Amino acid sequence: MEEVENKKIGEVRSFPEGFLWGASTASFQVEGGISNNDWAEAARQGKAPLCGRACDHYSRFESDFDIAKDLGHNAHRFSIEWSRIEPEEGKFDEKEIEHYRAVLRALKARGLTPFVTLWHFTQPMWFSERGGFLHAGAAQVFARYCSFVVDRLGSEAEFWMTINEPQVFAGDGYLKGKFPPFARNLISYLRVLSALMKAHVAAYRAIKATNSNVQVGIATHNIDFDPAENVLARYLAGFLDWFWNHRFLLKTKGCHDFIGLNHYFHHPIGKRAAKDAPRSDMGWEIHPESLYRLSVGLVRYNVPIYITESGLADSKDVHRASYITGYVGAVHRAITDGADVRGYLHWSLLDNYEWAEGFWPRFGLVAIDYATLTRTVRASARVFETIARANAL
Ligand code: BGC
């Protein structure tokens, strides 16, 4: 790997002071006990795997954050479940606000800087029944929810993310038919992408009007489209890079105080991935150079970048340690080359519900035994700990 070659023997690669190290989760994937959203409904109808109690993180967040602290983390990303906060349209549940206040305070008490995602794929039933983001007025409804949460909890956290991965939500829900509402329709796909842009802009403005001290961004899911050495491949990769990685950010320019970069895929165009390339349990190629290229590709926006997801399914924990050193090394090189990356949050803290795949993929630094809910720290989590504590590789 190039990162390894670039490192001279004995050289220490330090990260900027205050660099954030941690892991990410999302409400539906870990909390358990959520029944009032479109994914729970899809599972009831047999269209998605049942999620049930998941990791029971809703009641075990304190001990889970003890583990994160013990692993040397100083930051943590989680999401607020919209269907808990606004179970019926316009009716907000203050008890659930207090739950998330307790979550935020538990993080703070352990020295973990929170990154709060306001919406990570799951929609309250009433919202999805009205047509989700495709219904007229969806942007305002979403902005109202976001500003309500920030009004109540804005003083507890600096970093707020409106939307997780608009590209994946739109693509899997409206083009590939993998996520609710399981559509396969190009026009709906393009419409929902535009609707999400409007929703982000409306939410950004509403949040800032409510609390001008907070930093607001999205998590963009960027893919490394890596062309063969020919004009056609380069043209195609350039188009895909613009359409998938940058169009949302460009159309919502001025409404990002920072960018959250989520990254999983290297996508060779007009050539094949190396035959011997290591792969995750889901067959996803491990290719750290991609995170370097994508981080540098965000320099043009001139705002701080946080890696808000990067990780792999690896039940036997055979690749995770080298994945972490490779990808963190790529981030270091991107910083050296001018990318203002200020944190790396691994996906995920815990094994969790991997959407349409259910529970079999194991993304956690911490393994979950779903029968007993026992947590077991994987060996690779200690490799990450060493990096985090030294703030260096
Ligand atoms: C999503 C996560 C998901 C992860 C691994 C991201 O696209 O934000 O919810 O679990 O990738 O597939």
- The answer to whether residues 90 and 137 touch, using CB atoms and an 8 Å cutoff, is no
Which positions ≥6 away from 129 have C-beta within 8 Å?
Answer: none
For residues 6-24, average pLDDT: 88
Count Cβ atoms below 10 Å from residue 61 Cβ, excluding itself: 22
pLDDT at 292: 98
Helix (H) or strand (E) holding 250: helix 247-251
> Of 223, 263, 280, 355, which is best to mutate to test ligand 1, by the most ligand atoms within 8 angstroms of its C-beta?
355
Distance CA 286, CA 319 (A): 9
For residues 70-95, average pLDDT: 98
Is 229 designated active site?
no
- The answer to whether residues 328 and 376 touch, using CB atoms and an 8 Å cutoff, is no
pLDDT at 277: 94
Helix (H) or strand (E) holding 2: helix 2-6
Number of Cα atoms under 13 Å in the Cβ half of residue 309: 26
Is 354 near ligand 1, meaning CB less than 6 Å away?
Answer: yes
Is 309 near ligand 1, meaning CB less than 6 Å away?
Answer: yes
> Residue 99 above 80 pLDDT?
yes
pLDDT tens by residue, 253-281: 999 999 999 999 999 999 999 999 999 99
> Residue 94 above 60 pLDDT?
yes
180 phi and psi angles, rounded to 5 deg: -55, 140
> Residue 9 above 80 pLDDT?
no
Selecting among 3, 31, 86, 165, the annotated active-site residue is 165
81 Rama sector, left if φ>0, alpha if ψ -120 to 50, beta otherwise: beta
pLDDT above 90 as % of the chain: 97
Distance CA 282, CA 357 (A): 10
Q: How confident is the model at residue 122 (pLDDT cuts 50, 70, 90)?
A: very high
pLDDT at 8: 65
Instruction: Give the nearest ligand 1 atom to 352 CA.
Output: 10
Q: How confident is the model at residue 108 (pLDDT cuts 50, 70, 90)?
A: very high
For residues 294-310, average pLDDT: 98
> Residue 3 above 60 pLDDT?
no
> Residue 309 above 90 pLDDT?
yes
Q: What is the pTM of this model?
A: 0.97
Distance CA 153, CA 98 (A): 9
Q: How confident is the model at residue 221 (pLDDT cuts 50, 70, 90)?
A: very high
For residues 96-111, average pLDDT: 98
> Residue 107 above 90 pLDDT?
yes
Give me ligand 1 centre to Cα 365, in Å: 15
Distance CA 357, CA 360 (A): 7
Q: Which residue's structure tokens are 């559509």?
A: 183
Strands 366-369 and 374-377: antiparallel
Strands 75-79 and 215-227: unpaired
Average pLDDT in the chain? 97
The domains of the chain, with CATH numbers, are 2-390 (3.20.20.80)
Distance CA 351, CA 349 (A): 7
pLDDT at 4: 47
- The answer to whether residues 202 and 216 touch, using CB atoms and an 8 Å cutoff, is no
Atom 5 of ligand 1, nearest CA residue? 354
Q: Which of 3-12, 19-28, 213-222, 354-363 has the lowest mean pLDDT?
A: 3-12
pLDDT tens by residue, 163-206: 999 999 999 999 999 999 999 999 999 999 999 999 999 999 99
- Residue 55 DSSP symbol: T
pLDDT at 11: 86
For residues 371-386, average pLDDT: 98
Give me ligand 1 centre to Cα 264, in Å: 9
Give me ligand 1 centre to Cα 26, in Å: 9
Distance CA 12, CA 137 (A): 53
Give SS3 for 377: strand
